[in-house]
Amino acid sequence: MQQLTPPPFLMNKAASFFAVFTVCLGLFFYLLYSLGGKLTLFTALADQTGAVLGAAAAGSLLFLLGYEALIRRIAWRHYPGLRFALSCLLLWGLGVASAWLLSILLEEIITTTGLYQPDNLKIFRLTAAIVSLLLSLLFTLIDFSWYAYYRYAAETLARTRAQRRQKELQFDVLRAQLTPHYLFNSLNTASNLISYDSAGAEIYLRKLAHNIQYLMAKPNEVLSSLQQELEVVDSFFHLMQVRFGDRIRLEKTVNQKCLQQKIPAMALQLLVENALKHNVASTSTPVVIRIEAHPEGIAVENNITRPPQDLKSGKVGLRNLQERYQHLSAKNVVVTQNSESFKVQLPYITNSKKEAYV
């Protein structure tokens, strides 16, 4: 989950304090000017400089502490209306409170100098309330605009990165399955088959063409229906069965209502191919692959025989599939293994996973 940062001028505490402090002083002197701005009043205030600066500093500090507590507890993403209302109330309340403290200083000066009538303080406080309200609305709108811009930019960047990574993962699957070794073995099998079973060779080549066509098309597609995946597995397994014969078996139990459910493209063939790659098939101990599709998901299970002597595998294909699920769904791939079997359970993907931002 990516954290949303506040506007840049609030990220540096010293700079933010100075900015708010300057605004407080500016507001105060503007309010003095609105009273008539007589030079004698400014001169009289010179003796109260420490008090004025102290009140402005206290207001600035209260604002920063209140705003920091607000952004930590109430996020724009989850409570936009509440965040807007509380932000306005916080800023407006601090502005009014600061102006009220400063008006106490003015009351003493006005009484001493006689420059204004005491009723002018009411105008001072009313003006402070109106100006503080306008400033609080302006700041809150700027804060929300920054949030909206940052979130849009962050989500766009994250979506672009996720799409790029998804393409890379799909390309890795394609590269792993369309290897020169696979093509050589397939064509060599077809060549041998032609000499004694031309009809079988034709079926074999059609299945091979269908398999390659599917693999070449899927890099442009993220998801496939279960029906498409089962069809390509049938084609792929036919190719393998011509080579291995009765030493391998495929058993399928499929709920027909699940055929239009979505899973990552090429997921089933990857699991079937892994089962054949990691186990030695023989007549006495054939490799049996079971595919079960039910409403909760699809499971691919195979018995464990013995690994080939020259097997070099880092389970890249399975990691690839798990990472693709992390990009596409909130659900994970479940892998279970014991001494006799290896099972992978794939959940269906109903809605693409959405990135969350605070």
- The answer to whether residues 336 and 204 belong to one domain is yes
Strands (E) across 222-348 are located at: 223-225, 248-254, 262-264, 287-294, 297-303, 334-337, 341-347
| Chosen domain end from 160, 190, 224 | 160
Show Cβ contacts of residue 153 under 8 Å, excluding neighbours closer than 6 positions: none
The answer as to whether 353 is a domain residue is: no
Same domain membership, residue 195 and residue 94: no
User: What whole-number distance in Å separates Cα of residue 226 and Cα of residue 222?
Assistant: 13
- What is this structure's pTM? 0.53
Q: Classify residue 24 as exposed, middle or buried by CB count within 10 Å of its CB (0-12, 13-18, 19+).
A: buried
Task: Please tell me the predicted confidence (pLDDT) of residue 252.
Answer: 93
Q: For residue 3, tell me if it sits in a domain.
A: no
Considering the domain architecture, whether residues 147 and 246 belong to the same structural domain is answered as no
Query: Do 238 and 276 share a structural domain?
Result: yes
By CB atoms closer than 10 A (0-12, 13-18, 19+), residue 2 is middle
CATH of the domain at 239: 3.30.565.10
Q: Answer yes or no: do 244 and 146 share one domain.
A: no
Residue 161: both structure tokens together: 């990165």
Q: Which residues lie closer than 8 Å to 200 by C-beta, 6 or more apart?
A: 193, 242
Both 184 and 154 in a single domain? no
Distance CA 238, CA 25 (A): 82
Confidence (pLDDT) at 293: 93
Alpha-carbon separation of residue 246 from 80, 165, 169, 280 (angstroms): 64, 39, 33, 13
Which stretches of the chain drop beneath a pLDDT of 70?
A: 1-13, 29, 31-52, 105-121, 166-182, 184, 218-220, 311-316, 351-358
Same domain assignment for residues 208 and 342: yes
In a domain, 319, yes or no: yes
State the Cα–Cα distance between residues 173 and 267, nearest whole angstrom: 9
Q: Are residues 209 and 324 in the same domain?
A: yes
Tokens matching residue 340: 């006799």
Q: Is residue 220 part of a domain?
A: yes
The answer for 37, left when phi > 0, alpha when psi is -120 to 50, beta otherwise, is left
What SS3 state is found at 31?
Answer: helix
Query: Can you say how many angstroms the Cα of residue 246 is from the centroid of all Cα atoms in its chain?
Result: 47
Q: Are residues 143 and 192 in the same domain?
A: no
Same domain, 133 and 263: no
Domain that holds residue 331: 178-347
Query: Three-state SS for 240?
Result: helix
How many domains does one find in the chain?
2
Q: Is residue 170 part of a domain?
A: no
- Both 225 and 254 in one domain: the answer is yes
Taking a C-beta distance cutoff of 8 angstroms, is the pair 17, 61 a contact? yes
Closest residue by Cα to residue 287 from 338, 337, 341, 236: 341
168 within some domain: no
Residue 126 lies in a domain: yes
Q: What is the DSSP string of 102-122?
A: HHHHHHHHHHHH--S-TTHHH
Does one domain contain both 193 and 89?
no
- Separation between Cα atoms, residue 177 and residue 273, nearest integer Å: 9
Q: Which of 28, 34, 41 is nearest to 102 (CA)?
A: 28
Q: With respect to residue 22, please indicate whether it lies within any of the assigned structural domains.
A: yes
Instruction: Give the angle 348-354-358 at the CA atoms, nearest 5°.
Output: 145
